[in-house]
Amino acid sequence: MANADCIIIQGSNMAECHPVGFQWVAEAKARGAKVIHIDPRFTRTSAVADKHLPIRAGSDVVLLGALINYVIANDLWFKEYVSAYTNAATLVHEDYRDAEDLGGLFSGFDPEKGAYDNSSWAYDEANDGSITEPGGPEHGAEAGARAAGDALGSGGPPLEHAEVLRDDTLQNPRTVFQIVKRHYARYTPDMVRDMCGISEADFAYLAKTITENSGRDRTTCFAYAVGWTQHSLGAQFIRAAAILQLLLGNVGRPGGGIMALRGHASIQGSTDIPTLFNLLPGYLPMPSAGRHDTLEEYLKANASKNQKGFWADADAYTISLLKAWWGDAATAENDWAYDYLPRLTGAHGTYETVMSMLRDEVEGYFLLGQNPAVGSAHGRMQRLGMSHLKWLVVRDLNMIESATWWKDGPEIESGELSTEDIETEVFFLPAATHVEKAGSFTQTQRLLQWRHQAVAPPGECQSELQFFYELGHRIREKLADSQDERDRPLLDLTWDYPTDEHGDPDPESVLAEINGRHLTGPDAGKPLSAYTELRADGSTSGGCWIYTGVYADGINQAANRKPGEEQGPAAPEWGWAWPANRRILYNRASADPDGKPWSERKKYVWWDEEQGKWVGDDVPDFPPTLAPGTKPDPSVGGPAALSGDDPFIMQSDGKGWLFAPKGLVDGPLPTHYEAQESPVANGLYPQQQSPSRLKYPRKDNLSAPSAGDPGADVYPFVFTTYRLTEHHTAGGMSRWLPYLSELQPEMFCEVSPELAAERGLEPYGWATIISARSAIEAKVLVTERMTPLRVGDHTVHQIGLPYHWGVGNSAVVSGDAANDLLGVTLDPNVQIQEGKVASCDIRPGRRPRGPELLALVAEYQERAGLTVETSNSTVTHPAAEGEHPGGQTP
Amino acid sequence: MGQLTGPTDPTIDAHWEHNHPRKGFFTDTSICIGCKACEVACKEWNHNPQDGNLELLGSSYDNTGSLGASTWRHVAFIEQGQDRIAEARESGRALVSLGMPRIGPPPQPGEVVAGADTTPPDTADFRWLMSSDVCKHCTHAGCLDVCPTGALFRTEFGTVVVQDDVCNGCGTCVAGCPFGVIERRSNGTVKVATSREEQHAGHPEVPNAGVAQKCTLCYDRLVADETPACAKACPTTSIKFGDHDDMVQTAKERVATLHAQGMTEARLYGANENDGVGGTGSVFLLLDEPEVYGLPPDPRVPTADLPKMYRRAAVAVAGMAAAAAVAFLGGRE
């Protein structure tokens, strides 16, 4: 980021939530970069930006779409880059129909299942066919249930093969370029004014700044965080930025890219080596019953040997993982113990699990570093769900609300629960902090940094590693004599880490296992140095293919700490970045198709003719000796099929995708839909919300009416939730610390002076905020940092709510939890909740106590006429509903 | 006792034989993100107790209010509209026109000079100022000069430090500081546990209750050649630490750069060695008048007047003696 000439921070409050990473923005700014912050609120990030543009929460696709339109309409796209490195020239099948033509739906929508059959979005194929997925087509409903989008964390979706049809003139109306151009033609500055509340002048400033800082000599970078992801179409917000950045040639180059700012020290690590229900390490999908019953089916569906690039070798990554976990018990005869892996039978994300708890389908629950009673959407549903458990284990630093809801939670006060009647047995196990244990953090930039233990944990506090190691030992001891087949996966696990005198396993031995080693041959036992050494024949092991190399030569590369000023611009000897210690992904794109740097100023990786290889500041992200002009036959498949101008080596066709024929379940192009709850009607399409969002129409999860529907004025305001620098998420690491608590002691809401006047809110007095689910109280910060937005013909007031506080008696500071106001509606690609925008009312004074609180919420629900159907229609366009928009049969 | 006013090197003044270069901070508020890491790092390192009663203070995101016995770094948050920004810009420009902070050669003909409109086109109509305040470690420190017990002393780094075990809590220094920095620590505050075992074992006794407390510029870290905790923790280098002369030079360059970019509201605070405290050890770059940040516009150490007072007193004594003598002699006649 320090190399960027312009930084757009949107969907993120980077200075507050990532203050340490913000040093790179500060450095870029010191070098003369422009910084623009686009956010509903004026935050500490806006304070140090060159300009702040207030935006209506949830309208980002309109703004990004208008930028895409601006770039295409004014011919400002980076021609050589786009033509050579993206799929702009690729032809899409003739069955494809755009949302422009079908009132906001793409072809293939199945209103019964509320999901798409995406077969009509496919690339065209020579013999009149279309290029499908290697495992056969998967309906959006099934892909959504397993949140299949999560598996795209290290590379693009698979294709049967990469023999695409192209029109390099980009004139064919079925080229991706023409489709993108048509799709965004109505995303205009006027639309931005009417939907986002951003004036034409401000839009012009933004568009001009971005385009003037993109091209051969200059680069623009985007940074986002959960302000983009936590929407019912969050994945599409990011896709929209990806399209824009590809059109401007800002991917794979220094100072370019789209920075996903991850929320905690190792949240990137927790998706790489996942804590998610649907992933195995390295973004290999968790097998699904029916689709992945055998290893052969699984490997076939993950990647085709006929597609281009390194994902074609996913079989080697999978089998090496199975060898790492089950060692000698994984053999060719038993398909490398593939059947030891569990199979998904449906959606098992966190919100689905909570709803299962309410149906008494879940007996026990482990909470590790998570405080869902405060931190998850719909806190009441979370707490009531936990009250249905038989047992609950909370491992944390402090006695968080998720461990004490049974005695002092909001439902005890409201009378919905009484401590005597709760049968859940709650175990609290004290955890070691990050300075009391060694291990690695993987941060936003995919950089692994080793952390040494500073002090021993006090008392009975344990590291996670020690806890699970011991738990595994005890379970295996109990099962030692079992003859039951289903216990084999546990008994056959390689569970043999060396421990120190306190019984704590050596974390470097785990890192070595993750890195992988040769199992046979002259190098048997030696660590692997690159993922390209992984084999599908059982001769290698590797716990997470993208991390292979972190323990190369038996050295903990994550512990490298050579100061930046003592090395080159990419600082390769500080920590270790996956994959292959590469600092910028797809960096072959930093050179032109002939392999020369686009400009001296943005020189990074280039082709050295004399040496016959790629060289530069970073580890080249390309086959090292693949010359720029090479054009192999694409049908050979895998890395060997990559052309000299295919920089996107993890994409199945080697190109950056403007249009996504596969991989997204809610549309191949980002399209604006309103949030589940919105006071504004969709100005672009008759379709109000994303038709394929995951809805949960339940009595305990009611939604406010949308614009124009009766009762919408009962919840007339928009609220958005966020973090403050002073606290850590749900407060488990900050509200127990006096030094942090004193800095932000009380729950508050941020409102504009106009809204305060309209509702009679007193500065620093109390206010009650009511949503369709709950009501909370907060102190009032009246500030000009909140701007009422003129959207269409009415004013939209937005209310800011930090979500750090929770109700309980154990913390230094407590307060009502903003997340209690949220409902559960999810993005279908990754099952993330819509946490950044919803509807509410606000009024002065504290909230009622006890059963009267429930009465207040019910009174609002009644006044708005809420039912489980409210805002839960799949298709809102009456004409489209009966139409079954086609494309299925040409 | 050394010099009481005007430019001087306080270390030499304090008769240190093996003195180090004078150390100090340069706090550049134009890049402060208000994260308060300085406040937290300071309290952690110095084991200072929690302040306040855990309620919103009613001052934007500032909930510690001001510097005091237990808060040695304090971040102010100021929200401003367009009118105030225009005024700040004008007053900063006026300072430059007076020839105050400028580096490099004198302006050439045709060069953009103060007075030309270099206002950046993306100037906001609203801003949120953040500034981390700290003890100024004055060249002429009022607190030190009035301390009757010798508890306050000038270190070899030119900083001013309280010796907790010497201070008798008389409070004279509190009135002696023109910035309102030093305070006596009351024992009504809460000490924070220093280890996790202590955390839930009730609140231990507050350290140094009743005696004067303020920033030591991390004296215990300086003697170990370490950067003070606040500067170490600052993620954007808003708080810079180093030799005082370098800090003043960096500050002057920075203000010139900002002016060249049209940010004429930038100005220095504490960098003038002819001011009422002989210049401060901690210098600041501000984006508005000092009063806006709660800083005195023209700080003056009370002891600055001592020589004059002594002279007047001497004159008075001499006059009275003369008068008495005259009266006496006259009476004889």
**Looking at A870-874, B203-207, B282-286, which range is the least confident one?**
B203-207
The β-bridge partners of A220 are A6
pLDDT, tens digit (0-9, with 9 covering 90-100), for A178-219: 999 999 999 999 999 999 999 999 999 999 999 999 999 999
**Under an 8 A CB cutoff, do B31 and A26 touch?**
yes
Contact call for B58 and A764, based on CB within 8 A:
yes
Average pLDDT over every residue of B160-188:
92
Range scoring the smallest mean pLDDT among A112-116, A292-296, B307-311: B307-311
For testing contact with chain B, the best of A737, A743, A779 (most B CBs within 10 A): A743
| A44–B contact, CB cutoff 8 A | yes
Report whether A646 contacts A655 (CB < 8 A): yes
Per residue in B76-105, pLDDT tens?
Answer: 999 999 889 989 988 888 886 665 544 444
Mean pLDDT of chain A: 95
Per-residue confidence at B196, pLDDT binned at 50, 70, 90?
low
DSSP structure class, residue B314: H
Cβ within 8 Å, pair B33-A740: no
Q: What is the pLDDT averaged over residues A590-606?
A: 97
Q: Mean pLDDT, to the nearest integer, of A266-276?
A: 92
pLDDT at B98: 60
Q: Is the pLDDT of residue A369 over 80?
A: yes
Q: What pLDDT score was predicted for residue B194?
A: 62
Is the confidence at residue B108, as pLDDT, over 80? no
Mean pLDDT of B108-136: 69
Residue A503: its pLDDT value, please? 86
Backbone angles phi, psi at A439, to 5 degrees: 160, -165
In chain A, positions 739-798, which contact chain B (CB-CB < 8 Å)?
Answer: 739-746, 748, 763-764, 779, 781, 783-785
Is-contact B269 B299, C-beta < 8 A? no
The pLDDT value recorded for residue B325 is 85
pLDDT mean over A302-307: 91
* H/E segment holding residue A859: helix A851-864
Cβ neighbours for A888, distance < 8 A, ≥ 6 positions apart: A95, A107, A108, A117, A119, A120
pLDDT of residue A339: 97
User: Is B195–A458 a contact, with Cβ atoms under 8 angstroms apart?
Assistant: yes
| Tens-place pLDDT, residues A810-841 | 999 999 999 999 999 999 999 999 999 999 99
Flag whether pLDDT at A886 surpasses 50.
no
Q: Do B34 and A47 touch (CB under 8 A)?
A: yes
**Mind telling me how many Å the CA of A637 is from chain B's nearest CA?**
47
3-state class of B267 per DSSP? strand
CA dihedral (A567, A570, A574, A577) in degrees, to 10, reads: -160
Asked if ipTM goes beyond 0.90, one says yes
Identify which of B52, B124, B199 has the shortest CB distance to residue A51: B124
By C-alpha distance, the chain A residue nearest B51 is A742
pLDDT band per the 50, 70, 90 thresholds, residue A765: very high
Q: Which residue of B has its CA nearest to A430?
A: B196
One-letter identity of residue A192: V
Q: Which of residues 420-449 of A touch B (CB under 8 A)?
A: 433
User: DSSP characters for A641-661?
Assistant: G--TT---TTSTTSSB-SS-S
Q: What is the mean pLDDT of chain B?
A: 86
Q: Does A722 touch chain B (CB under 8 A)?
A: no
Query: Which of B28, B32, B33 would you mutate first to test chain A, the one with the most A CBs within 10 A?
Result: B33
Residue type, A476: R
Provide DSSP, A234-300: HHHHHHHHHHHHHHTT-SSSTT-SEEE--SSTTTTHHHHTT-STTEEGGGEEPPBTTTS-SHHHHHH
A200-212 helix and A60-73 helix, angle to the nearest 10 degrees: 60
Average pLDDT of the residues in A144-171: 92
Query: Which one of A27, A48, A52, A766 makes the best mutation probe of the B interface by having the most chain B beta carbons within 10 Å?
Result: A48
DSSP assignment string, B5-35: SSS--HHHHTT-SSPPPPEEEEEEGGG----
pLDDT over threshold 60, residue A529:
yes
Question: In this structure, which amino acid lies at residue A503?
Answer: G
Point out the least confidently predicted range of A322-336, A598-612, B49-63: B49-63
CB crowding A368-384: b at 16 or more within 10 Å, else e: ebbbbbbbbbbbbbbbb
**Residue A813 contacts B where some CB pair is shorter than 8 Å:** yes
CA atoms of A800 and A821, how far apart (whole Å): 12
Residue A430 preceded by cis peptide, ω within 30: no
Q: B96, B262 in Cβ contact below 8 A?
A: no
The tokens describing A209, both together, are: 């700044």
- In the A/B pair of chains, how many CB contacts fall below 8 A? 115
The pLDDT assigned to B102 comes to 45
Q: Which two tokens stand for residue A71?
A: 């770039």
CA A376 to CA A831: how far, in whole Å?
Answer: 13
pLDDT band at A465 (very low <50, low <70, confident <90, very high): very high
- Considering chain A, what percentage of its residues have pLDDT values greater than 90? 92
Distant-in-sequence, close-in-space partners of B296: CB < 8 Å, separation ≥ 6: B178, B179, B290
The amino acid sitting at A607 is W
With beta carbons under 8 A apart, name residues in chain A contacting B37.
Answer: 19
pLDDT of amino acid A420: 97
Residues 6+ apart with CB under 8 A from A453: A435, A436, A437, A438
Over 50: is that where the pLDDT of B275 sits? yes
| DSSP state letter for A689 | B
Contact (CB<8Å) A743/B39: yes
* Rg of chain A over all Cα atoms, to the nearest angstrom: 27
Q: Please name the amino acid found at residue A300.
A: K
Q: In this model, does residue A548 exceed pLDDT 70?
A: yes
Segment B18-41 mean pLDDT: 94
Q: Where are the alpha helices (DSSP H) in A433-528?
A: 464-479, 488-491, 507-515
Lowest mean pLDDT among A26-35, A224-233, B106-115, B217-226: B106-115
Q: Facing residues of A258 across strands?
A: A222
If you ran DSSP here, which 8-state letter would residue A706 be given?
A: P
Average pLDDT estimate for B116-136: 78
pLDDT-derived band at B121 (thresholds 50, 70, 90) equals low
End-to-end C-alpha distance for chain A, whole angstroms: 47
Number of H helices, E strands in chain A: 26, 29
Whether A20 and chain B come into contact, CB under 8 Å, resolves to: yes
| pLDDT surpasses 50 at B274 | yes
Residue B61 exposure: Cα atoms within 13 Å on the Cβ side: 27
| Pick from A134-143, A567-576, B230-239: least confident | A134-143
Instruction: Give chain A positions within 8 Å (CB) of B36.
Output: 725-726, 743
User: What is the per-residue pLDDT across B299-331, written as a single tens digit (0 to 9) for each?
Assistant: 998 877 777 878 888 888 888 888 888 887 766
When CB atoms are compared, the residue of B36, B58, B121 closest to A725 is: B36
- Report the predicted TM-score, pTM, of the whole model to 2 decimal places: 0.94
Whether the CB-CB separation of A799 and A717 falls below 8 Å is answered with yes
